[in-house]
Amino acid sequence: MSPLEGVILGVIQGLTEFLPVSSSGHLVIAQSFIKGFQQPGILFDVILHFGTLLAVVFFLRKDLCDIVKAVLQKQHREVDSAIISGRRNLGFLIIVSTIVTGIIGLLFNDKIHILFKSVNVAASMLLVTGVLLFLSDKVKNTCRLGKDMNVIDGIIIGIAQGISIMPGISRSGATIAFGIFRNLDRETAARFSFLLSIPAIIGAVIFESRHIGSIPSDDLIPYVAGAAAAVLTGFLSLKLLFLIIKKKRGLGIFAYYCWFVGIATLIANAL
């Protein structure tokens, strides 16, 4: 893999990690066009995810600081109690969702790794992502905010994130869609989705780090270049998605994109 190919894959990861179109599906499809592409486990994919992790931590730094401060603060004024309780509840639900996702990941990790070798699986799952996004656009009564979230929300969104370890199922798309199905405000669902991505990506990086020693020396530069490209484009895609959501635009446009890419890939692979 050349440094240019690493950058291209990093750009693809950064653009598709936060836009609800499945970064894993796009990476599997893009890597199939790189002659002789190989990686220890899915280490390269995880390194790119680490790049987008840096982007989301920077983008949501205020939210993260607010949650940490609320958890650590022992005493507070009564007037602030509702706000602090809401932030603590958000932190608790992130833990609940992460545990659910972790259980699913540990149970099905070996089987999921095999699926990353199949372009047809990734393309087919893009069609499923499209269906989720299309249906989420049909939900109108989305008025629940972060303070209204409960354990059931955390479990359901955690399951959605766990299912999205399959290539082609968008992590952000699935978690935002199921948040919307739970009648969460779209911006609330998106913000929770991206906060939830932080422990998930950290867990994946730690788990796949056992393969670091297997990286060929010639691939070190492409790995670093890809991660750097993922940081920049990941931050830009976050800005774009929140701009779309704040303008009250639905996610339907991404559904049509997923269907187009999925069908086109299946047809191209069959020829």
Alpha-carbon dihedral sign for residues 153, 156, 157, 158: positive
- Of 193, 86, 185, 187, nearest to 144 by C-alpha is 185
Amino acid 106 reads L
Predicted structure pTM score? 0.83
According to DSSP, the residues that pair with 144 across neighbouring strands are 184
| Structure-block tokens of residue 182 | 């739970």
pLDDT in tens, 180-220: 999 999 989 999 999 998 988 888 777 767 666 666 677 78
Its domain, for residue 32, covers 3-270
Phi, psi of 144 (to 5 degrees): -80, 135
Domain tally, the chain: 1
Query: Could you report the per-residue pLDDT of 209-222, keeping only the tens digit for each?
Result: 766 666 667 778 88
